[in-house]
Amino acid sequence: MTASIFDAFLTPPAIAEVFGERAVVAHMLDFEAALARAQAEEGVIPAGAADAIAASCDVALYDPAALVSGASRAGSLAIPLITALRAQVARHDADAAQHVHHASTSQDAIDTAAVLATRRALALIDAELAALSEALLGLAQAHAATPVLARTLMQPAGVASFGLKCIRWTAPVVRARQRMREAAVRALVLQLGGPTGLYGADDARAVAVGRRMATALKLGVAPMPWHTQRDEWVRLGSEVAVVAGSLSKIATDLSLMAQGEVGELAEPAVGPDGRRRGGSSALAHKRNPVSAMVAIAACRLVPARAASVLASMAQEHERGLGTWHAELAEWPGLFTGLYAAAQALREAFEGLEVDARRMHRHIDEAFGARIDVDGDVRRAASLVGHDALALRDAIEHLAPPPWSTD
Amino acid sequence: MTASIFDAFLTPPAIAEVFGERAVVAHMLDFEAALARAQAEEGVIPAGAADAIAASCDVALYDPAALVSGASRAGSLAIPLITALRAQVARHDADAAQHVHHASTSQDAIDTAAVLATRRALALIDAELAALSEALLGLAQAHAATPVLARTLMQPAGVASFGLKCIRWTAPVVRARQRMREAAVRALVLQLGGPTGLYGADDARAVAVGRRMATALKLGVAPMPWHTQRDEWVRLGSEVAVVAGSLSKIATDLSLMAQGEVGELAEPAVGPDGRRRGGSSALAHKRNPVSAMVAIAACRLVPARAASVLASMAQEHERGLGTWHAELAEWPGLFTGLYAAAQALREAFEGLEVDARRMHRHIDEAFGARIDVDGDVRRAASLVGHDALALRDAIEHLAPPPWSTD
Amino acid sequence: MTASIFDAFLTPPAIAEVFGERAVVAHMLDFEAALARAQAEEGVIPAGAADAIAASCDVALYDPAALVSGASRAGSLAIPLITALRAQVARHDADAAQHVHHASTSQDAIDTAAVLATRRALALIDAELAALSEALLGLAQAHAATPVLARTLMQPAGVASFGLKCIRWTAPVVRARQRMREAAVRALVLQLGGPTGLYGADDARAVAVGRRMATALKLGVAPMPWHTQRDEWVRLGSEVAVVAGSLSKIATDLSLMAQGEVGELAEPAVGPDGRRRGGSSALAHKRNPVSAMVAIAACRLVPARAASVLASMAQEHERGLGTWHAELAEWPGLFTGLYAAAQALREAFEGLEVDARRMHRHIDEAFGARIDVDGDVRRAASLVGHDALALRDAIEHLAPPPWSTD
Amino acid sequence: MTASIFDAFLTPPAIAEVFGERAVVAHMLDFEAALARAQAEEGVIPAGAADAIAASCDVALYDPAALVSGASRAGSLAIPLITALRAQVARHDADAAQHVHHASTSQDAIDTAAVLATRRALALIDAELAALSEALLGLAQAHAATPVLARTLMQPAGVASFGLKCIRWTAPVVRARQRMREAAVRALVLQLGGPTGLYGADDARAVAVGRRMATALKLGVAPMPWHTQRDEWVRLGSEVAVVAGSLSKIATDLSLMAQGEVGELAEPAVGPDGRRRGGSSALAHKRNPVSAMVAIAACRLVPARAASVLASMAQEHERGLGTWHAELAEWPGLFTGLYAAAQALREAFEGLEVDARRMHRHIDEAFGARIDVDGDVRRAASLVGHDALALRDAIEHLAPPPWSTD
């Protein structure tokens, strides 16, 4: 709820746009256009009506802010939008207006629009994760044999290599890309049930309408309407939360290694835009780990959102009262949080400064001569080599993403 | 995170504005102006500098969106704002610019601005709760002797009166207004610690600066800086979550009594703006309980936000890395959710339709002659009478709200 | 934390035993025995030592309560257990005692024991879900053409059949069984990293030890130690939470249809043990929906546990401080909650009473002659027929469960 | 749900006992005895019956485990207990048995028993907080002038004193003791509403029964039954969560200062029982911060429990279905978590090792000659002196705790 100024820096513009008014209204209009065209192709509504409807399904013809305002009164964004769409169609073809939204329901349009927006969000996230894993893999190989303390329970426990830390940070990022594909294939499906979930029952043409719409929108077809059985959808949301958890571990380690007294890592002093990052309003010399800060903050908000989405699964009967609405309200935050964290970490690791001398000094202070640094580092490096091959292979064999609509 | 279209109807404009860019930047400028004036009055900075600074602390001189964009890079809204403020002051008085933000720190300005915004949010919420409790009290008295089923574990358990249900819904709303005042007195305090929390140490003038600022901003003074010991602040947030919980009970009962098969209550068919509420995109005759829907959805999001705020209390050292940011990012959602729920319920109960015949019919169906309806209703009515007096008395004796700044 | 009396009825004994002291200590001993045997087979420790160790890995030789007490002091259950195991081995073979727990670490034993316990929990849950889906499928087919209101936003929206409600409740239960298998295959893997995560590095024998142990324990092998990259493990936990969400929807619908005023469904009056269920301490005639109550309560606790587990993914360095411990502490609650809910619903639906007349009456009251009941029911029944075939097929083709260790 | 072995070390026996079977059954019997006695004193039931009932209200006469087992079937602990109590009374006085639980209901007995258990939990927690604040105050005064880095965003930001850190850790602990008293006064009240919440309506004797019971049980009297308006109760739960949040900050700072590379603090190597703490199963020399670990883990579980309790406030009608049960199931975890954390930190700070040289070294490394250490430390020490006086004064003037029943 509410985009306040306090979370502005956790909401990169690219992802905010995806779930914004204009984009989602456009997706709802995509749904209505696809519905009309498919129904016309199946002879359910006249072809001319479908043309008139599709021609009116251009978001530039509507005022999204006014629709949102109407939605507050109606309790649903679909009601003012369908009204406005009918009026728009009627201007050119009064008869066609009667075929708008035929046999469908609010939830069909809204859920499908949410699917379409989510697909775009996943593409944005995947690109950041890809770049992050490249940066991490590069560091892993460059520092395969750079000794660093292994720390358990936040105490020195032995020696490993910084490359090994990097490769182990990488693995869940690569897995994330694969698991997100798997969850997305199942969740990015058309919603089409009609007012009571009977759409397509005992009606071959209606079934065909669904198939045609899915093809047109490049979505999958669900075995049955999923309006109140939202498990595959929530699995995708949970997957996003798991990935944010994996990033939270990287961000936490970064923050610990960048502590002043540790000083093994530092975030880049200059951002991709060439401007200084991480300054202080009071202390000119200070260099703050802003990427870790953003990633930690963003990831900290995700588990609560995942919990809200899970709790909203108790959807009453054939459309939840408040539960459906709570889920959708919470949904974008999952993707925004993950994207913000991924972007921040990608920026940090693409320009990371590694102080190998500090790393060695901490080993000396903790263990002195009591430890076989060379032997342990050689072992760590051998793991890095092995795992880097496996991860590069996994990246090459990632499933084709369902969010690529080319 | 992110104001998406999906939570638009859970974010009434009045409360969105309170935590929006322009309002919070204005509050940060209020802080800087008060700081400069108080420091001048104590002779810490020149009086002329304070005048020049205060004259530049007008939000109309700045572009909040640009500041927010700068904040993403810097990791703090204060950094671009102080830079912009210094530049603005320097245009008229280069020397005064050096006294901007003297001895203070980002967190002082941001936390205090959050306090000032929160104060406004509480005033909005309190007004809705006041109107809601009036509507409920009115119904309680009108229906003190209207028999209704008492239901335990969602089964008929006996007879009470609808007025008794109303008066028991009212009690926590009245308590909420008092408890929110108590928590607010402790939480609506100035933040002033300087870069490391030492501001005011061994320095009578600095202590006096704090007192003067608090007076100017009509805030309380904390016994010590609360930047990382945020328990009183979080108590206020938790209080808001408790109040949302109390409203969730009312909304749930409303939704159950408004079910088609129960039909004891109905939300008003027409809104305060004279337009139809709760229509359906597919079924013309349907009347949806949109107030219950909004209140249920809004309240469902609040516990997760309270959990995030609680979890963020593990603030590291003298300023948390990500924890502070997560708390502030989550903070507005608590107030937005409560406000949306209170407003929705107030609208529902101000125009509530009560079907006393349906209420009686359900008693007959459940118990027939096996129950002494008149006796139980008389007992219920006596409780209503007693409790209504007590609640009216409590309303009259509410503490003066710390959010009234007149 | 704490098994209080207040959650006793949400903690069926069968699942409580799985995560109890004795069972988990036994699993830790399974780990130690498998480790010793595998190391002996690879020539890392003497064969005789492995025999002596394995002979001592019998939980009957230890006092789990005393170990738990020792764990509080040490901060780890493994420390007192390894000490006790060494002492036990030393009684017969002092030399063998030195080979106990060789090259391993606390977390290896504890995580692997958690995996073994989780495997048993999944088997229990799967059996309940299987029985629940059978009961639901049976009802779906028996009531394929029993008209019932379709309700959206808790208002009558049209007509469907009770069988259609049942088949749509069933679908996520069947999917759950398949998705749990998929997540379990990835999560039920050996943990073996040694003190700093280097176990197996550059050491073919150590790699072979891991493979042998996995075979012996009938577990999978992870591509690398997962001690601090716990995403596949958390995915399994999240999957359990999603399934609980699917059950919460069924329980909510049951509670709504069993309301006194609705009365379309009733839970069985007598339990499988032949004793009366759902009585009241005050009202002799009352029949409470105790299965819905248990399932709702159990499912309500799950999202918060999932959030805690997700939040605990920010594991510091090579073993989290408190984060690992919080995750494990929260873990059993996910499985307990789901099992309690599944068992309660299975009991309810195996003996469900359906009042088709009440269902029809509500349609009449809502729509009268304005609706084509027969047509809609015929359509609903056709969906039931189609979906029942698909679900039976899905059940037959479920993947072999990784929790079957026969 | 479920006390697994994995949370055993987060559940100290003293607090586990408070919410255990035997203690809570005893409290329910306390309720029944007080009810009978008060009703006899008001002439509602015969005096002899009250004597017979009270004589049977001895927990030693019952098998708590069997009652819990019966509760699973009945869905309420009160049902088997009242049955057993009636049978026990009837053995001596068949007539008296009919007066058992007169005009009351399950929820009255269970809620009041929960109140009585909670009162004991608060007393345990308060004692730990008192000892913790003493330990912290002692350290604050001993180290008022021990220089330490002030760190913001986990970077060196200036100089303060370790005493100042301690005194700021102390303040919320002292506030906690006061706020817990305030919340407890309002929450530790008798529940007495009868089956439908009408108990006491229009019946002076029934009102007097409530007053007598409250006096006998040393509880407050609520203005009306709070069975479904549980805001004051939940405020107490939220307060406990806030206090856990305050402790989580202390534990986090401790963990950061005890890191190997920082080494400014160390937990005592030997526990109060004279045995070694914090060992490692793999590394003999390692000293793990087990108090920080326990406190961090315990506090991490609390926000999710607070969220569940808040979400459960949507109690349906006159007794929630599953919501009431979820709240009670979650309730003990709040207190257990806080107690475990308080105890662990108290143990750590009572024997804390402070390395002032390491503290100074970190200042030198961060700032060298660029900072006025002496000046800043003098300022910090002056704050410590001032705040220590204020906190000692606050401790002396703590309100009398409602959990003292002497």
Size of interface A-D (CB pairs under 8 A): 80
Q: Which of B193-202, C397-406, D164-173 has the highest mean pLDDT?
A: D164-173
**Residue B376: its chain D contacts at CB < 8 A?**
196, 198
B78's enclosing H/E stretch is: helix B78-92
Instruction: Show which subunits contact C, needing at least 3 CB pairs below 8 angstroms.
Output: A, B, D
A251 part of contact set with chain B, CB < 8 Å? yes
Q: Which residue of C has its CA nearest to D314?
A: C300
Rounded CA gap, B344 and A272, in Å?
Answer: 46
Q: Which of B246, B239, B172 is nearest to D314 (CA)?
A: B246
The better pLDDT of the pair C46, A281 is held by: C46
B158's enclosing H/E stretch is: strand B155-161
Between chains, do A231 and C252 touch, taking CB under 8 Å as contact? no
**Residue B152: its chain C contacts at CB < 8 A?**
280
Q: Which of C313, A289, A153 is nearest to D255 (CA)?
A: A153
Smallest Cα distance from A97 to chain D, Å: 43
Between chains, do D262 and A261 touch, taking CB under 8 Å as contact? yes
Which residues 132-151 on chain D approach chain C with CB closer than 8 angstroms?
Answer: none
C276 part of contact set with chain A, CB < 8 Å? no
**Residue A283: its chain B contacts at CB < 8 A?**
195
Neighbours of B286 (CB within 10 A): 18
pLDDT for the residue D1: 46
Which DSSP category does A370 fall into? G
| A171 touches C224 (CB < 8 A) | yes
- Count CA within 13 A, CB hemisphere, residue C160: 25
pLDDT tens digit string along B321-339? Answer: 999 999 999 999 999 999 9
Residue % of chain B over a pLDDT of 90:
88
Residues in chain A: 406
Non-local CB neighbours of A296 within 8 Å, separated by 6+ positions: A248, A251, A252, A255, B321, B322, B323, B325, B326, C314
Nearest CB to D333; choose among C2, C8, C68: C2
Between chains, do D259 and A258 touch, taking CB under 8 Å as contact? no
pLDDT for the residue A183: 98
Between chains, do D255 and A154 touch, taking CB under 8 Å as contact? yes
B328 part of contact set with chain A, CB < 8 Å? yes
Neighbours of A43 (CB within 10 A): 10
Which residues 150-179 on chain B approach chain C with CB closer than 8 angstroms?
Answer: 151-158
| A301 touches B311 (CB < 8 A) | no
Residue % of chain A over a pLDDT of 90:
88
Between chains, do D154 and A289 touch, taking CB under 8 Å as contact? yes
Smallest Cα distance from B30 to chain D, Å: 24
Rounded CA gap, D377 and D391, in Å?
Answer: 20
CA A182, A184, A189, A193 dihedral sign is positive
Residue C270's SS3 state is strand
Residue B122's SS3 state is helix
Residue in A120, A287, A319, A346 annotated catalytic: A319
Nearest CB to D155; choose among A157, A158, A260: A260
Residue B277's SS3 state is coil
The residues of chain A scoring below 50 in pLDDT are: 1-2
Residue in D91, D205, D276, D280 annotated catalytic: D280
The amino acid present at A58, given as its one-letter code, is D
A248 part of contact set with chain C, CB < 8 Å? yes
**Residue D145: its chain B contacts at CB < 8 A?**
none
Rounded CA gap, C131 and C127, in Å?
Answer: 6
Q: Which of B179, B310, B372, B383 to mutate to test the interface with D (most CBs of D within 10 A)?
A: B310
Which residues 26-85 on chain B approach chain A with CB closer than 8 angstroms?
Answer: 64, 68, 71-79, 82
Neighbour-count burial of A283, counting CB atoms closer than 10 A to its CB (0-12 exposed, 13-18 middle, 19+ buried): middle
B279 part of contact set with chain A, CB < 8 Å? yes
**Residue A293: its chain D contacts at CB < 8 A?**
153
Across B110-114, B263-267, C75-79, C358-362, least confident range: C75-79
Rounded CA gap, B102 and C348, in Å?
Answer: 69
Q: Where are the beta strands (DSSP E) in C4-59?
A: none
Smallest Cα distance from D146 to chain A, Å: 18
What is the β-pairing status of strands B147-152 and B155-161? antiparallel
| D300 touches D251 (CB < 8 A) | no
* Residue A239 tokens, joined: 């997957």
Rounded CA gap, A107 and B288, in Å?
Answer: 14
Say yes or no to pLDDT of B125 above 70.
yes
**Residue C155: its chain B contacts at CB < 8 A?**
258-260, 286-289
The better pLDDT of the pair C280, D394 is held by: D394
Angle at which helices A323-350 and A106-142 cross, to 10°: 20
pLDDT tens digit string along A8-52? Answer: 889 999 999 999 999 999 999 999 999 999 999 999 999 999 999
Say yes or no to pLDDT of C325 above 50.
yes
pLDDT tens series, chain D, 406 aa:
456 888 888 999 999 999 999 999 999 999 999 999 999 999 999 999 999 999 999 999 999 989 988 888 788 899 999 999 999 999 999 999 999 999 999 999 999 999 999 999 999 999 999 999 999 999 999 999 999 999 999 999 999 999 999 999 999 999 999 999 999 999 999 999 999 999 989 899 999 999 999 999 999 999 999 999 999 999 999 999 999 999 999 999 999 999 999 999 999 988 877 877 776 665 666 788 999 999 999 999 999 999 999 999 999 999 999 999 999 999 999 999 999 999 999 999 999 999 999 999 999 999 998 899 999 999 999 999 999 999 999 999 999 999 987 6
Say yes or no to pLDDT of B280 above 70.
no
C262 part of contact set with chain D, CB < 8 Å? no
Smallest Cα distance from C21 to chain D, Å: 5
Rounded CA gap, D322 and C239, in Å?
Answer: 22
Q: Which residue of D has its CA nearest to A285?
A: D157
Neighbours of B60 (CB within 10 A): 6
Q: Which of B399, B15, B367, B340 is nearest to B159 (CA)?
A: B367
**What does the pLDDT average to over C188-215?**
95
Which residues 86-105 on chain C approach chain A with CB closer than 8 angstroms?
Answer: 105
Residue C158's SS3 state is strand
Between chains, do A150 and C318 touch, taking CB under 8 Å as contact? yes
Angle of CA points C305, C309, C311, to nearest 5°:
115
Say yes or no to pLDDT of C217 above 50.
yes
Rounded CA gap, D234 and B244, in Å?
Answer: 12
pLDDT for the residue D281: 60
**What does the pLDDT average to over B80-99?**
96
D390 part of contact set with chain B, CB < 8 Å? yes
A343 part of contact set with chain B, CB < 8 Å? no
Q: What does pLDDT average to over chain C?
A: 95
Whether D248 is a known active-site residue: answer no
D261 part of contact set with chain A, CB < 8 Å? yes
Cα dist from C95 to B260, C41, C50, C87, C234, whole Å: 77, 18, 11, 11, 40
Say yes or no to pLDDT of C91 above 60.
yes
The amino acid present at C371, given as its one-letter code, is I
pLDDT for the residue A1: 45
Smallest Cα distance from D380 to chain C, Å: 31
**Residue C232: its chain A contacts at CB < 8 A?**
175
Between chains, do C314 and A251 touch, taking CB under 8 Å as contact? yes
D331 part of contact set with chain C, CB < 8 Å? yes
D147's enclosing H/E stretch is: strand D147-152
* Residue D388 tokens, joined: 């220590």
B369 part of contact set with chain C, CB < 8 Å? no
For the question of whether the overall pTM of this predicted structure is more than 0.80, the answer is yes
pLDDT for the residue B283: 62
Smallest Cα distance from C317 to chain B, Å: 17
Cα dist from C343 to A147, C126, C129, whole Å: 52, 10, 8
Cα dist from C72 to B12, B170, C27, D10, whole Å: 50, 47, 19, 8
Nearest CB to A155; choose among D288, D365, D366: D288
